[in-house]
Structure 1
Amino acid sequence: MLFVTNRIPNEGYQTKIGRELTFDLQNTTPSKHLFFCKRSPDNKKYFEEGSASFFTQLKALSEKTQVLLYIHGFNNTDEADIFPNALALEEQINQYANQELVKVVPIIWPCDDDSALAFIDDYWDDQHAADASGKLFYRLFGKFVSWQKQLVQQGDECHKRINVLAHSMGNRVLMNTLYEWAKAQGDVPQLFRNAFLIAADIENEALEKGEKGQHIVDSARNVVIYYANDDLAMPASKVANLKNKTLSRRLGMTGAENLNKLPKKVYQVDCDNFNNTIDKPKGHTYFLHRGSKQTPVIKHMAEAIKTARVHPSEREYELPYP
């Protein structure tokens, strides 16, 4: 599985194609460099690929296969959470579609997995890392756009469709990434076919024009907000944010503050019917099947990826649980 990270490798910054990389999971300091890597499925080891090989491998995927970038949430680590979730996401979408519809590529930013007793300090460490990571990950998209331009000049265009799924605090990473792009490059181009914002740990007005997250809307053909009022991670997020004297409702708990202020390509999906059934008791990671419990989010996302349209077409929709 290909992945990109700004974790600091124990082996140092100097790029060397093919070298094995290891990471100290308690080090949440973001690197000043991006590392384009591949995870070995057999022994769970990581090897440096370099950006050229990384993009070439994505281009070589089947014409019907789309890329789904996966930006993980708070308190997630590589082998405990990120790769198992990414592999499950890829398998479940492809199984529903009955084809290799997506290739999931994790975007890994440095967060740790301290105990529940250290929740607030851990939350703020991760939030700081999410903010700092945005300043670097915009280079990922910049590298991709530059690579595409080089291919055009060579008469070998790449039309690979890209989608992004941001979960929890991963939405903060995505927001900051595109904000940094806008600061550095001006307007944000339409990078994604779909942007899926699941249990988003950002303010519920963040996508409005003039707010920091407006560039998420600019970056995608469709933007789909999945939220649940009884997502227990969202009240915990509000408590943690009191440390910075910030009290705001979270997008992943209420949906957009005013959907009418957002373009028609923004949809929001109420997941109250099943989030705690799928992910008991927190109700936070409800976008993946859990054993015999099948989340309707997989079908909903797969249809949007396959058709480039959100079904049903209502901008506000309560997703039923069969």
Structure 2
Amino acid sequence: MLFITNREPQGSILTKKNRSYQFDLSKNAPSNSIYFCERTDEDSYVELGSKQLMSRLKESGSKQLLFYIHGFSNLPEPDIFPRAQKLQKYFDNAEPDLIEVVPIIWPCDDDPGIVKDYWDDQKSADNSAISLARALQFFMDWRNSAPDEDAICLKRINVLAHSMGNRVLRETMRAWNKDYLADGVPLLFRNTFLVAADIVNESLEEGQSGRLICQSSRNVSVYFASDDLALRASKAANLKSRVASRRLGHSGPEDMRKVQTNVYAIDCDDLNTRYDFPKGHSYFLDNGRGQPGKIFKHMLESIKTGRVKVSNEPRRTHILK
């Protein structure tokens, strides 16, 4: 499995193609460098370099790509890679060669204590933006430098951000726009899936930094559940910093009239705790019985068709039951 990370490796921080790469889990500060790697087995990784990884993606038999940005307090093993593998398995079972899943791994902490983890990871999410924006620019430069049309990577690109991974995505888009772009972000993503998003629910509105997510995407699907216990704890933690707004993953967008018309609100209240008991937070994979759940199937349909299925088209809302 190919992956991109800004977690520092053990040993030298300088990129060296084809070296054995091992995460330094004692460090949770984001590296200024970005590493393009492959997982060959559990706890076994090889650094490829940006051009080799991007060439591998272009040459892959998969029609589309899905970049997966994980949530807080997740480590590469046993959290991120097994979950990404499960995603890949479900996509392959649904339609072989449709999707290649590529995890984006940012530094989470493994300190004891959920509150300390939360604050450390929130800072890490913000500080990851600089290096991950560089990764986006690497991709754009690589694609734009193709000598002819046949060399251009034409695969459709999708993003799945879970929990605090939405903060990583938001800040990355802001840094990319500020540091590299002159006229706003390009339309890069076919579908952006914001699941249990740990950002304020006004984030996608005009004038807010999350607006860039909408501008860079054909479709933005917001999956939310009001009884997500992890986000209740997040709101309580943020109240200490006088951030009183509800989370996007709790209520969906605050006002659908204030977001772009490519934003869709998907209510998962009837399924989230059934799929992930008792927290109701990681509900986008299976149905709790090892089978793809309705949230996954809804995302799959959007990837296959390029359109988001909703029951109330004028309001762009849908209830999954």
TM-score, length of structure 1 as denominator length: 0.94
Residue in 2 aligned with 1:134? 129
Is 1:86 the counterpart of 2:87? The answer is no
Contact 2:310 2:317 in 1 (8 A): no
Q: Structure 1: how far apart are the matches of 2:240 and 2:29?
A: 21
- Residue 93 of structure 2 aligns to a residue whose secondary structure is helix
How well do the aligned residues superpose, as a CA RMSD in angstroms?
A: 1.4
Task: Give the alignment of 1:125-274 within 5 angstroms.
Answer: 125-153=120-148, 156-184=151-179, 185-186=181-182, 187-274=184-271
Q: How far 1:291 moved relative to its partner?
A: 2.8
Farther off after superposition, 67-76 or 185-194: 185-194
Flag as ranges the 4+ runs of structure 1 deviating above 3 A. 152-155
Letter in 2 for 1:22: Q
Any unmatched runs of 5+ in structure 1? none
The correspondence for 2:105, drawn from 104, 108, 122, is 108
Counterparts in 2 of 1:274 and 1:155: CA distance versus 1, 3 Å: closer
Identity percentage over the alignment? 49
Contact 1:93 1:299 in 2 (8 A): no
Is 1:49 the counterpart of 2:48? The answer is yes
Is 1:71 the counterpart of 2:69? The answer is yes
Q: Structure 2: how far apart are the matches of 1:263 and 1:225?
A: 13
Q: How far 1:256 moved relative to its partner?
A: 0.2
Q: How far 1:156 moved relative to its partner?
A: 2.0
Letter in 2 for 1:129: S
Q: Structure 1: how far apart are the matches of 2:130 and 2:240?
A: 24
Is 1:299 the counterpart of 2:297? The answer is yes
Contact 1:278 1:293 in 2 (8 A): no
* Deviation sequence 1:219-272 (CA, Å, 0-9, x none): 100000000000001110011112322222000000000011112111010001
Q: How many residues in Structure 1 have an aligned counterpart in Structure 2?
A: 315
Counterparts in 2 of 1:240 and 1:150: CA distance versus 1, 3 Å: same
* Deviation sequence 1:59-95 (CA, Å, 0-9, x none): 0012x52110000000100011100110111111232
Letter in 2 for 1:305: I
Q: How far 1:201 moved relative to its partner?
A: 0.1
Q: Structure 2: how far apart are the matches of 1:46 and 1:30?
A: 19
- Residue 40 of structure 1 aligns to a residue whose secondary structure is strand
Q: How far 1:114 moved relative to its partner?
A: 2.9
Counterparts in 2 of 1:16 and 1:293: CA distance versus 1, 3 Å: closer
- Residue 203 of structure 2 aligns to a residue whose secondary structure is coil
Q: Structure 1: how far apart are the matches of 2:262 and 2:13?
A: 41
